[in-house]
Amino acid sequence: MIKAAIVGGTGYTGVELLRLLAAHPEVELTAITSRSEAGQAVADMFPNLRGHVDLAFCEPDKAGLNDCDVVFFATPNGIAMQHTPALLDAGVRVIDLAADFRLKDPAVWAQWYGQPHACPELLKEAVYGLPEVNRAAVAKARLVANPGCYPTAVQLGFLPLLEKGLVNAGRLIADAKSGVSGAGRKASVGTLLGEASESFKAYAVPGHRHLPEISQGLQRVTDTKVGLTFVPHLTPMIRGLHATLYAELTAEAADLQQLYESRYENEPFVDVLPADSHPETRSVRGANTCRLSIHRPQGGDTLVVLSVIDNLVKGAAGQAVQNMNIMFGLEEAVGLNIIALLP
């Protein structure tokens, strides 16, 4: 059994990790930390876990993290990097669901996250945990940077086109919408029911923190400089993320539908829908699946890719479990064969 602990178990990604790991046949949950809720039974805060998780929240220094096989950080940005070096020295593998290790350049990280990086020497070693690109590296990793939700949906949508050099990499557009759970489990006026319901808005148009992460990931698969316009939106739903992606075709492909089907045919958590399909966020709610469809309106030079995920599963906790499975040599889908919830 893999001994696993979660640091920061009271947020939405933390409870999603708890839900998935509690049902994982190869995992023993040993600790869930929270300074503010220490001593409270996990099931008292999250009643859906009653009968499945018998642990109480504890202080991080009392969690026995050094005795774990893997520690997940479901914490705000800037926390994991404070503790990761000591855990790695103790032989513990680390999966960070925040952004501490996603960017390779510490100066870029400091620019977007407003503080110097605490352990820049680990940025080179950290493996970006998008299995569809870095599976072999994840299998050998001590430290995995779990991708963000927007970057997961956007990269999976664009990758086949960039890998084959079929589009103008300098003029990519990602128009993406996320449910309010993407903002985290905190008190915020903007995510109150009375504020977010029956409304729709863009935010962070001048620059979102996920922009450099997406650009970095796309740049890895093309020799041409990537130019990306990324605009996120807040939608009045709890879960779900929909990315509408636009790219200018510069070369002809025999069959774009076949290109996507071939690229992802062996990927257990990417589902390329039949031609002319329109994926819905509800079709992936609660599941670790990215669903894609490809369109070429009026047969023109603009290709439109639709990409949907559950921002808390494939966009966060589910992908983290997927990475854990790879790191420990398990079947990749163990604990993740979840059918989406409808209605």
Q: For position 160, what pLDDT does the model report?
A: 97
Both 156 and 297 in one domain: the answer is yes
**CATH classification of the domain holding 115:** 3.40.50.720
- Which residue numbers are catalytic? 149
The mean per-residue pLDDT over the stretch 213-223 comes to 96
Residue 122: beta bridge partners? none
For residue 108, being part of any structural domain is answered with yes
For residue 193, being part of any structural domain is answered with yes
Residue 89, H or E segment = helix 80-89
For residue 342, being part of any structural domain is answered with no
Q: For position 190, what pLDDT does the model report?
A: 75
Both 121 and 155 in one domain: the answer is no
Q: For position 98, what pLDDT does the model report?
A: 96
Both 38 and 79 in one domain: the answer is yes
For residue 77, being part of any structural domain is answered with yes
Q: What is the DSSP string of 174-200?
A: EEEEE-GGGG-SS--GGGSHHHHTT--
Query: How many structural domains does the chain have?
Result: 2
Residues 6+ apart with CB under 8 A from 65: 5, 7, 31, 71, 83, 87, 90, 92
Residue 186: is its pLDDT beyond 90?
A: no
Both 110 and 154 in one domain: the answer is no
Reported confidence tier of residue 340, pLDDT bands at 50, 70, 90: very high
Burial class (CB in 10 A: 0-12, 13-18, 19+), 268: middle
Q: For position 125, what pLDDT does the model report?
A: 97
Helix (H, G, I), strand (E, B) or coil at 6: strand
Order the strands of the 270-272 sheet from edge to edge.
201-202, 228-234, 172-178, 241-248, 302-309, 290-295, 270-272
Residue 283: is its pLDDT beyond 90?
A: yes
Residue 95: is its pLDDT beyond 80?
A: yes
329: Cα separation from own chain's centroid? 21
For residue 37, being part of any structural domain is answered with yes
Distance CA 166, CA 160 (A): 9
Helix (H, G, I), strand (E, B) or coil at 233: strand
Both 158 and 196 in one domain: the answer is yes
Q: What is the DSSP string of 284-310?
A: GTTSS-EEEEEE-GGG-SEEEEEEEE-
Q: For position 254, what pLDDT does the model report?
A: 78
- Three-class DSSP labels, 14-36: HHHHHHHHHCCCCEEEEEEECCC
Both 67 and 194 in one domain: the answer is no
Both 161 and 288 in one domain: the answer is yes
Q: For position 185, what pLDDT does the model report?
A: 74
pLDDT tens for residues 44-62?
A: 999 999 999 999 999 998 9
pLDDT tens for residues 239-271?
A: 999 999 999 999 887 799 999 999 999 999 999
Reported confidence tier of residue 14, pLDDT bands at 50, 70, 90: very high
- Using CA atoms, how far residue 224 sits from 71, 117, 166, 254, in Å, is 37, 29, 11, 22
Distance CA 45, CA 11 (A): 11
Both 108 and 196 in one domain: the answer is no
Kindly state the tokens that stand for 40. Answer: 């409270």
33: Cα separation from own chain's centroid? 21
Enclosing domain of residue 277: 150-310
Q: Domain ends where: 109, 125, 141?
A: 125
Reported confidence tier of residue 147, pLDDT bands at 50, 70, 90: very high
Residue 188: is its pLDDT beyond 80?
A: no
For residue 136, being part of any structural domain is answered with no
For residue 341, being part of any structural domain is answered with no
- Using CA atoms, how far residue 148 sits from 18, 130, 161, 167, 331, in Å, is 19, 10, 21, 24, 23
Kindly state the tokens that stand for 234. Answer: 């807040």
Burial class (CB in 10 A: 0-12, 13-18, 19+), 26: middle
User: Residue 167: phi, psi to the nearest 5?
Assistant: -130, 165
Q: For position 36, what pLDDT does the model report?
A: 86
Distance CA 55, CA 147 (A): 28
Reported confidence tier of residue 137, pLDDT bands at 50, 70, 90: very high
Both 154 and 242 in one domain: the answer is yes
Both 57 and 100 in one domain: the answer is yes
Both 235 and 119 in one domain: the answer is no
Reported confidence tier of residue 182, pLDDT bands at 50, 70, 90: confident
Reported confidence tier of residue 196, pLDDT bands at 50, 70, 90: confident
Residues 6+ apart with CB under 8 A from 164: 251, 253, 259
For residue 323, being part of any structural domain is answered with no
**CATH classification of the domain holding 264:** 3.30.360.10
Both 114 and 208 in one domain: the answer is no
Distance CA 89, CA 42 (A): 29
- Three-class DSSP labels, 32-63: EECCCCCCCEHHHHCHHHCCCCCCEEECHHHC
